[in-house]
Amino acid sequence: MRLLTAHRGGYNVEMGLAQPKQLLTPEEYLRRERDSLDKHEFYRGEVFAMAGGSAEHSRITANAIRRIGERLDGSPCGVFDSNLRIRIPSSSLYTYPDVSVICGPLEYDPLDRSRETVLNPRVLVEVLSPSTEAYDRGTKFENYQQIDSLREYLLLSQNVARAETFLRQPDNTWLYTAVTGLETSVLLASLRIEVPLAELYAGITFPPTATTPTS
């Protein structure tokens, strides 16, 4: 998902006009989100509209849900799409990851009476977009690290067959691993599964690789 302009104090702000900074409470955000036709991320009192992704983004996300889910059949872990909202209580972030894996019972956000927000993902997956890659690698990951249950973070490129994982270590540092190429597989150690990149990128046609002209 791509983040659009932040809206302060509500979901309908006229662009180009000076607006007083009015921050929402989480309860106000949740109430408005229930009535909204679109998804919005919430962070420190501000609301950010989310736009749809590309066809490639959608296909890679669907592949990840399917292929990870297949390997978790019979386990206590389940895969969820971007309709499931995640809250990080320590930073007040409410967000919609592309893919979430939760093991065991879902722990619901006590502030969300609709029970549409959970607190305990084990693995989160984001498909990188040009407009959000810096955010997914930076501020968003910093927030994700504050989730006690989170053990692994997977980033999938759109432009090349490449998977990057960050695995939480016992000392709360994160071990980085990257694999590239359709002949490789990504290991999700926290789930004890391995997924070939050929399956994650099935149906994707990558842009041609730039080559140096020959004389």
Contact between 123 and 71 (Cβ < 8 Å): no
Q: Are residues 157 and 182 in the same domain?
A: yes
How many domains does the structure of the chain reveal? 2
Q: Are residues 94 and 155 in the same domain?
A: yes
Q: Are residues 68 and 136 in the same domain?
A: yes
Q: Which residues pair with 110 in a beta bridge?
A: none
Q: Are residues 37 and 80 in the same domain?
A: no
Quick count: other Cβ atoms within 10 Å of Cβ 179?
15
Q: Are residues 70 and 28 in the same domain?
A: no
Does residue 181 belong to any structural domain of this protein?
yes
Does residue 42 belong to any structural domain of this protein?
yes
Q: In what order do the strands lie in the sheet with 99-103?
A: 77-80, 99-103, 123-127, 152-156, 162-168, 174-180
> Rounded distance, CA 168 to CA 56, Å?
29
Q: Are residues 46 and 60 in the same domain?
A: no
- Cα–Cα nearest to 124, from 107, 134, 137, 105: 137
For the question of whether the overall pTM of this predicted structure is more than 0.95, the answer is no
> Rounded distance, CA 16 to CA 26, Å?
26
Does residue 176 belong to any structural domain of this protein?
yes
Looking at residue 212, the DSSP 8-state letter turns out to be: P
Q: Are residues 73 and 47 in the same domain?
A: no
CA 9 to chain centre: 25
Q: Give the CATH number, domain containing residue 90.
A: 3.90.1570.10
Contact between 158 and 127 (Cβ < 8 Å): yes
Q: Are residues 130 and 147 in the same domain?
A: yes
**pLDDT, tens only, 64-80:** 999 999 999 999 999 99
For residue 144, report the phi and psi dihedrals to the nearest 5 degrees.
-55, -35
What percentage of residues in the chain have a pLDDT greater than 90?
A: 77
Q: Are residues 137 and 31 in the same domain?
A: no
**pLDDT, tens only, 190-206:** 999 999 999 999 999 98
Q: Which domain holds residue 193?
A: 55-200
